[in-house]
Amino acid sequence: MLKDEEIAEQKYQERRKRYSGIETGIYSGDEFIEFSETCLFEQVTIMLPASFHDMPADEARRKYPSEQRPQIIKTNREGTIDFGFNLLDETIEEEQLESVAHDFVRVMKRLYPRNLCLKVEKGQGISFPYAAAEFISTAIDGSLYNMVVIMSIKGKLMQMLFNCPCDRKEDWAGCLLQIREKISEYEEEPDETDQPIHRTISHFRYHRLRN
Protein backbone atom coordinates (compact mmCIF):
# COMPACT_ATOMS: atom_id res chain seq x y z
CA MET A 1 0.00 0.00 0.00
CA LEU A 2 2.77 2.41 0.92
CA LYS A 3 4.47 1.78 -2.41
CA ASP A 4 1.23 2.55 -4.27
CA GLU A 5 0.91 5.80 -2.32
CA GLU A 6 4.51 6.73 -3.15
CA ILE A 7 3.93 6.04 -6.86
CA ALA A 8 0.74 8.13 -6.82
CA GLU A 9 2.57 10.99 -5.09
CA GLN A 10 5.42 10.80 -7.61
CA LYS A 11 2.97 10.99 -10.52
CA TYR A 12 1.21 13.91 -8.84
CA GLN A 13 4.46 15.87 -8.46
CA GLU A 14 5.51 15.08 -12.04
CA ARG A 15 2.16 16.34 -13.29
CA ARG A 16 2.55 19.60 -11.37
CA LYS A 17 6.04 20.14 -12.81
CA ARG A 18 4.78 19.53 -16.33
CA TYR A 19 1.96 22.05 -15.96
CA SER A 20 3.79 25.06 -14.59
CA GLY A 21 3.38 28.00 -16.98
CA ILE A 22 0.93 30.22 -18.81
CA GLU A 23 1.09 28.13 -22.00
CA THR A 24 0.49 24.81 -20.27
CA GLY A 25 -1.69 25.99 -17.41
CA ILE A 26 -0.78 25.46 -13.76
CA TYR A 27 -2.02 23.66 -10.69
CA SER A 28 -2.88 25.80 -7.67
CA GLY A 29 -3.62 23.29 -4.99
CA ASP A 30 -5.74 20.69 -6.77
CA GLU A 31 -7.27 23.25 -9.16
CA PHE A 32 -6.04 23.36 -12.76
CA ILE A 33 -5.88 26.92 -14.12
CA GLU A 34 -5.75 27.88 -17.79
CA PHE A 35 -4.67 31.29 -19.09
CA SER A 36 -6.04 33.56 -21.80
CA GLU A 37 -4.99 36.89 -23.26
CA THR A 38 -6.77 39.86 -21.66
CA CYS A 39 -6.79 43.54 -22.64
CA LEU A 40 -6.40 46.11 -19.85
CA PHE A 41 -7.09 49.86 -20.08
CA GLU A 42 -7.03 49.51 -23.89
CA GLN A 43 -3.27 49.83 -23.46
CA VAL A 44 -1.77 46.39 -22.83
CA THR A 45 -2.48 42.70 -23.25
CA ILE A 46 -1.62 40.26 -20.49
CA MET A 47 -2.07 36.55 -19.87
CA LEU A 48 -4.43 36.00 -16.93
CA PRO A 49 -6.34 33.01 -15.57
CA ALA A 50 -9.32 32.41 -17.86
CA SER A 51 -11.57 31.50 -14.92
CA PHE A 52 -10.86 34.68 -12.91
CA HIS A 53 -13.60 37.32 -12.91
CA ASP A 54 -13.91 41.01 -12.06
CA MET A 55 -14.32 41.41 -8.32
CA PRO A 56 -17.72 43.01 -7.53
CA ALA A 57 -17.49 46.58 -6.22
CA ASP A 58 -18.94 45.80 -2.78
CA GLU A 59 -16.52 42.90 -2.31
CA ALA A 60 -13.61 45.10 -3.43
CA ARG A 61 -14.53 47.73 -0.83
CA ARG A 62 -14.59 45.11 1.92
CA LYS A 63 -11.33 43.45 0.94
CA TYR A 64 -9.52 46.67 0.00
CA PRO A 65 -11.05 49.35 2.27
CA SER A 66 -8.60 52.06 1.20
CA GLU A 67 -9.79 54.40 -1.55
CA GLN A 68 -6.47 53.61 -3.21
CA ARG A 69 -7.64 50.10 -4.05
CA PRO A 70 -6.72 48.77 -7.53
CA GLN A 71 -8.78 50.11 -10.43
CA ILE A 72 -9.22 46.60 -11.83
CA ILE A 73 -9.30 43.47 -9.65
CA LYS A 74 -9.47 39.96 -11.09
CA THR A 75 -10.14 37.19 -8.56
CA ASN A 76 -10.75 33.46 -8.43
CA ARG A 77 -14.04 31.81 -7.54
CA GLU A 78 -13.21 31.65 -3.82
CA GLY A 79 -11.84 35.21 -3.70
CA THR A 80 -8.53 33.96 -2.27
CA ILE A 81 -6.21 34.85 -5.17
CA ASP A 82 -6.23 38.33 -6.73
CA PHE A 83 -4.62 40.26 -9.56
CA GLY A 84 -5.00 44.05 -9.26
CA PHE A 85 -4.10 46.78 -11.75
CA ASN A 86 -3.68 50.55 -11.72
CA LEU A 87 -2.83 52.87 -14.61
CA LEU A 88 -1.68 56.25 -13.31
CA ASP A 89 -0.97 59.52 -15.11
CA GLU A 90 2.57 59.62 -13.80
CA THR A 91 5.60 59.78 -16.05
CA ILE A 92 8.40 57.43 -15.02
CA GLU A 93 11.70 56.73 -16.72
CA GLU A 94 13.14 53.24 -17.04
CA GLU A 95 16.03 54.02 -14.69
CA GLN A 96 13.53 55.10 -12.00
CA LEU A 97 11.55 51.86 -11.87
CA GLU A 98 13.68 50.06 -9.29
CA SER A 99 13.80 53.16 -7.09
CA VAL A 100 9.99 53.41 -7.17
CA ALA A 101 9.74 49.74 -6.17
CA HIS A 102 12.05 50.36 -3.20
CA ASP A 103 9.95 53.41 -2.24
CA PHE A 104 6.86 51.20 -2.30
CA VAL A 105 8.54 48.75 0.09
CA ARG A 106 9.62 51.56 2.46
CA VAL A 107 6.08 52.95 2.62
CA MET A 108 4.67 49.46 3.13
CA LYS A 109 7.07 48.78 6.01
CA ARG A 110 6.16 52.08 7.65
CA LEU A 111 2.44 51.34 7.43
CA TYR A 112 2.69 47.60 8.14
CA PRO A 113 5.86 46.89 10.16
CA ARG A 114 5.13 43.15 10.35
CA ASN A 115 5.26 42.76 6.56
CA LEU A 116 8.39 41.01 5.32
CA CYS A 117 10.05 42.07 2.05
CA LEU A 118 11.53 39.10 0.20
CA LYS A 119 13.27 40.88 -2.67
CA VAL A 120 13.20 43.75 -5.14
CA GLU A 121 14.41 43.18 -8.70
CA LYS A 122 14.29 44.67 -12.17
CA GLY A 123 13.83 42.97 -15.50
CA GLN A 124 13.04 43.37 -19.18
CA GLY A 125 9.86 41.99 -20.70
CA ILE A 126 9.11 41.50 -24.38
CA SER A 127 7.71 45.05 -24.59
CA PHE A 128 8.40 46.89 -21.34
CA PRO A 129 11.08 47.07 -18.64
CA TYR A 130 9.79 46.59 -15.12
CA ALA A 131 10.67 46.43 -11.43
CA ALA A 132 9.08 43.95 -9.05
CA ALA A 133 8.89 43.60 -5.27
CA GLU A 134 7.81 40.49 -3.37
CA PHE A 135 6.68 40.48 0.25
CA ILE A 136 4.73 38.57 2.86
CA SER A 137 1.82 40.24 4.64
CA THR A 138 -0.39 39.08 7.48
CA ALA A 139 -4.13 38.54 7.25
CA ILE A 140 -6.85 37.46 9.65
CA ASP A 141 -6.78 33.88 8.41
CA GLY A 142 -3.04 33.55 7.72
CA SER A 143 -0.15 35.02 5.75
CA LEU A 144 -0.29 36.21 2.15
CA TYR A 145 2.35 36.18 -0.56
CA ASN A 146 2.33 39.45 -2.53
CA MET A 147 4.00 40.81 -5.64
CA VAL A 148 3.87 44.33 -7.05
CA VAL A 149 5.16 45.01 -10.57
CA ILE A 150 5.80 48.55 -11.82
CA MET A 151 6.29 49.47 -15.46
CA SER A 152 6.15 52.52 -17.70
CA ILE A 153 3.59 52.26 -20.51
CA LYS A 154 3.17 55.04 -23.07
CA GLY A 155 4.21 57.67 -20.56
CA LYS A 156 2.01 56.30 -17.77
CA LEU A 157 2.81 54.19 -14.74
CA MET A 158 1.13 50.78 -14.53
CA GLN A 159 1.06 48.69 -11.37
CA MET A 160 0.24 45.01 -11.24
CA LEU A 161 -0.46 43.57 -7.81
CA PHE A 162 -0.84 39.91 -6.97
CA ASN A 163 -1.65 38.12 -3.73
CA CYS A 164 -2.38 34.56 -2.70
CA PRO A 165 -2.13 32.43 0.46
CA CYS A 166 1.50 31.66 1.30
CA ASP A 167 0.95 27.94 0.81
CA ARG A 168 0.21 28.70 -2.87
CA LYS A 169 3.38 30.74 -3.45
CA GLU A 170 5.35 27.95 -5.15
CA ASP A 171 2.41 27.15 -7.44
CA TRP A 172 2.53 30.69 -8.86
CA ALA A 173 6.22 31.66 -8.68
CA GLY A 174 7.33 30.69 -12.20
CA CYS A 175 4.02 31.64 -13.74
CA LEU A 176 4.19 35.21 -12.38
CA LEU A 177 7.58 35.71 -14.00
CA GLN A 178 6.12 34.70 -17.38
CA ILE A 179 3.07 36.93 -16.92
CA ARG A 180 5.05 40.09 -16.20
CA GLU A 181 7.65 39.47 -18.91
CA LYS A 182 5.02 38.85 -21.62
CA ILE A 183 2.90 41.96 -21.03
CA SER A 184 2.72 43.63 -24.42
CA GLU A 185 1.27 46.70 -26.08
CA TYR A 186 -2.38 46.33 -27.05
CA GLU A 187 -3.09 46.33 -30.79
CA GLU A 188 -6.60 47.34 -31.77
CA GLU A 189 -8.48 44.88 -33.94
CA PRO A 190 -8.97 45.90 -37.60
CA ASP A 191 -12.35 47.27 -38.64
CA GLU A 192 -14.53 44.32 -39.67
CA THR A 193 -15.92 46.33 -42.62
CA ASP A 194 -12.42 46.63 -44.03
CA GLN A 195 -11.11 43.22 -43.07
CA PRO A 196 -13.62 40.47 -42.33
CA ILE A 197 -11.02 38.18 -40.79
CA HIS A 198 -9.63 39.79 -37.64
CA ARG A 199 -7.37 38.84 -34.77
CA THR A 200 -8.84 36.61 -32.13
CA ILE A 201 -7.67 36.40 -28.54
CA SER A 202 -5.48 33.36 -28.10
CA HIS A 203 -6.53 30.85 -25.50
CA PHE A 204 -4.28 28.02 -24.51
CA ARG A 205 -6.18 24.87 -23.57
CA TYR A 206 -4.74 21.75 -22.14
CA HIS A 207 -6.43 18.77 -20.52
CA ARG A 208 -5.64 17.38 -17.10
CA LEU A 209 -3.61 14.25 -17.03
CA ARG A 210 -5.33 11.22 -15.64
CA ASN A 211 -4.14 10.10 -12.23
pLDDT of residue 192: 58
The tens place of each residue's pLDDT in the chain, 211 residues long, gives 557 777 767 777 777 778 778 999 998 888 899 999 999 999 999 999 999 999 999 999 999 988 889 999 999 999 999 999 999 998 889 999 999 999 999 999 999 999 999 999 999 999 999 999 999 998 877 899 999 999 999 889 999 999 999 999 999 988 999 999 999 999 876 655 544 333 333 333 333 333 3
- Distance between CA 77 and CA 28 in Å, rounded? 13
| DSSP alpha helix (H) spans, the chain | 2-18, 57-63, 97-111, 169-181
Instruction: Tell me the CATH architecture of domain 2-185.
Output: 3-Layer(aba) Sandwich (3.40)
- Distance between CA 37 and CA 198 in Å, rounded? 15
pLDDT of residue 56: 95
Question: Residue 175's closest CA among 32, 64, 78, 14?
Answer: 32
Domain ranges of the chain: 2-185
Its pTM stands at 0.83
- What is the 3-class SS of 90-134, one letter each residue? CCCCHHHHHHHHHHHHHHHHHHCCCCEEEEEEEEECCCCEEEEEE
The number of residues in the chain equals 211
Question: Residue 132's closest CA among 164, 163, 161, 153?
Answer: 161
